Amino acid sequence: MLACLLLGACGGTRPEPPPAPVAAPDPVLAPPRIGLALGGGAAKGFAHIGVIKMLEANGFKPDVVAGTSAGSVVGAMYASGMDPFRLQEHAVALDEASIRDVRLFSGGLVQGLKLQEYVNDQVRGRPIERLRKPFAAVATRLETGERTVFVRGNTGQAVRASSSVPGVFEPVTIGGYQYVDGGVVSPVPVDAARQLGAEFVIAVDISSKATGRRPDGMLGIVNQSIAIMGQRLGEQELARADVVVRPRVLDIGGADFTQRNRAILEGEKAALAALPQIRQALDALQAQRLQDVRERQARAAAQRAADAAAQCEDGGSRWNPFRRDDEACTAAR
């Protein structure tokens, strides 16, 4: 009988090893939040419209928008829900007199109230926090030189503060402080876009550069002065953007509204040229985000395994030595 049993055991099928662990599938990640940082540049700001047109036409829709000076005007209207074609329609139909109110008794400075009313009319009177996209307007507090980021309150007033070029516009008083153009401290508001939650920032730089040529007229002198002050600071902030788009509009005068169509076209061309870089940078960011998730999952799995092993060792040595041979503890070991 014993021999029969031994022969039967030898002839039986071998127990199959446990299946190998299957790797968890990669998580599906949401696309990165894209931020648009629109720089200042007076009439050159029409180029922002062309950039937005080309980005949206190729499937890149910014989630948040930050603007300085002229960039805050376009940014507020875009954040309110206007599509790029409506932006262009409004730009073409814009009468310069509708946003410029010169006050002789203040030394010929532009008051800026018309600009404030124009912007509020375009956004239908909504405050910043009720716009369709998160929006920030960057200005400079005159008393301290601090960068101020407006993310709530009167949209037109924030844009007016952001656009108040020193020596051309009167400073704007808000909450007991005076504010001037944001380009003094943040020519292209990359950091403000990050503050709004952007993980990937596309910066549009239309700021004037000190080229060695003598500027023409009062506005040209003021713009060049601001450019000199903010050029080095702007370079540092632009370095924190993922992609920088530079429309070729530096030869357009700050007050030359007749060049608006050309500025829009230059914005389109610059954005089109930057599309391969944008795609490559976004792919690299998404790959890095996926790698980070994998590493976190691996660390969590290793910690769970270590905790299980420690629990098995503790339970086996303290309560029942034979329990260490159960399947869970064997796997943990």
56, exposed or middle or buried, with CB in 10 Å at 0-12, 13-18, 19+?
A: middle
Mean pLDDT along residues 195-215:
84
pLDDT band at 324, cuts 50/70/90?
very low
How would you label 255-282 residue by residue, b for 16+ Cβ within 10 Å and e otherwise?
bebebbebbbbbbbbbbbebbeebeebb
Active-site annotation holds for 69: yes
63, 69, 163, 191: which is the annotated catalytic residue?
69
pLDDT band at 56, cuts 50/70/90?
very high
Within 10 Å of residue 287's Cβ, how many Cβ atoms?
A: 10
Q: What is the pLDDT of residue 315?
A: 58
181, 191, 205, 242: which is the annotated catalytic residue?
181
Mean pLDDT along residues 195-211:
88
pLDDT band at 159, cuts 50/70/90?
very high
Torsion of CA 274, 278, 280, 283, to 10 degrees: -170
Site of tokens 């990937």: 200
Residue 255 to residue 96: CA distance in whole angstroms = 9
pTM of the entire structure?
Answer: 0.82
The yes-or-no verdict on residue 310 having pLDDT over 70 is yes
